[in-house]
Amino acid sequence: MPKISVIGAINWDINLFVERFPRIGEEVPVERIMRVPGGKGANVAVAAARLLGHGQVALIGCLGRDDIAERQIKILKDEGVDVSGIKFTGSAESGQAYILIDDEGRNIINTLFGANLELKPEDLRCERILSLLRASSIIVLIDPILETLMAAASIAKEYGKIVMWDAGVRSTLGAERLKEILRNVDYLVINEVEVKNLTGETNPLEAWRILSEINQQITLILKLGERGCSMINRRIMASVPPVNLEELGLKVVNTVGCGDSFLGAFAASKAQGLGDIESLERANLAGALKVTRPETRGSPSREMLERYLKFRAKARIIRR
């Protein structure tokens, strides 16, 4: 049975590599096209499975009854992900994302959520999915519909699980509207734009203070991209600087999926029994290694992460 269950989107990504982004009304040639599996939920599940091994991570989501779904299931199984928690619907096609990537690795994403919107709260109570949630020590929430998020967070806490949430696009709803979910979250993993959307604050410490009024036990993890990451909770405030890829002879190719690699590695490290700081350092390294790969699911294998572990950036403890 799995150590981690991930609830979130499964998409088929069409990556369009261009020299630069077009202006409104302008046509820019596509230099290369890559069609690859994606979706934040699936990406996180694969990133964690690559580090934990076969059958240790389950994905809970929804696909259409189409050719994309058949390809997705085969790929996920090949990655060692438990797919028994995936629902199929005939009322929507499988999710798809259309991604422009420029020469600097930056991206613009347009997503058809499709079947991803069909995972409902009642689905989580079916025995097949409920057994996965009961077996897992960590539940990772990504981007199902709001009602399903609320139900998932509640069920996870009902069974005493560690809950990690990448609030993503839901952060625009604000902390007040999301407080029912936030009360059940142990680790909130978001970026700078999302923390501002969620709390109205750009200062991470002030943002955590607002969140702690809802949940005193919450840990805020900020993904800072090329500036590394940071963590704040009641006990500690720490930051991890970026990994120097140039010193390793590596370069940025594609930043799409870096946050998913980060979260997958953090969850996997915690599932292995590692502490918060070491897990944060490993997650930071995994996100950095992902940018050197063109594919969305370019997260490192266990062997690759271990090979570069000695080059990981060390955390700076600001307070205890």
Token readout for 193 is: 């734009």
- Return the biggest CA–CA distance within the chain: 53
CA-angle at 166, arms to 109 and 312, nearest 5°: 90
The pLDDT value recorded for residue 287 is: 95
Task: Give the residue among 131, 123, 124, 105 at the shortest CA–CA distance from 21.
Answer: 105
Per-residue pLDDT for the chain (320 aa), expressed as one digit of tens each?
A: 899 999 999 999 998 999 999 999 999 999 999 898 999 999 999 999 999 999 999 999 999 999 999 999 999 999 999 999 999 999 999 999 998 999 988 889 899 999 999 999 999 999 999 999 999 999 999 989 999 999 999 999 999 999 999 999 899 999 999 999 999 999 999 999 999 999 999 999 999 999 999 999 999 999 998 899 999 999 999 999 999 888 888 988 888 889 999 999 999 999 999 999 999 999 999 999 999 998 878 899 999 999 999 999 999 998 75
DSSP state of 128: H
Q: What is the DSSP code string of the chain?
A: --SEEEE---EEEEEEE-SSPPPTT------EEEEEEE-HHHHHHHHHHHHH-TTSEEEEEEEESSHHHHHHHHHHHHTTEEEEEEEEESSSPPEEEEEEE-TTS-EEEEEE-GGGGG--GGGGGSHHHHHHHHH-SEEEE-SS-HHHHHHHHHHHHHTT-EEEE--GGGGGG-TTTTHHHHTT-SEEEEEHHHHHHHHS-SSHHHHHHHHHTT-TT-EEEEE-GGG-EEEE-SS-EEEEPPP-TGGGT------TTHHHHHHHHHHHHHHTT--HHHHHHHHHHHHHHHTTSSSTT-PPPHHHHHHHGGGPPPPEEEE-
Which helix or strand (DSSP H or E) is residue 93 part of?
none
CB contact at 8 A, 97 and 65: no
Which residue from 11, 23, 40, 21 is spatially nearest to 194, judged by alpha carbons? 40
Cα(142)–Cα(287) distance, integer angstroms: 17
Predicted model pTM? 0.92
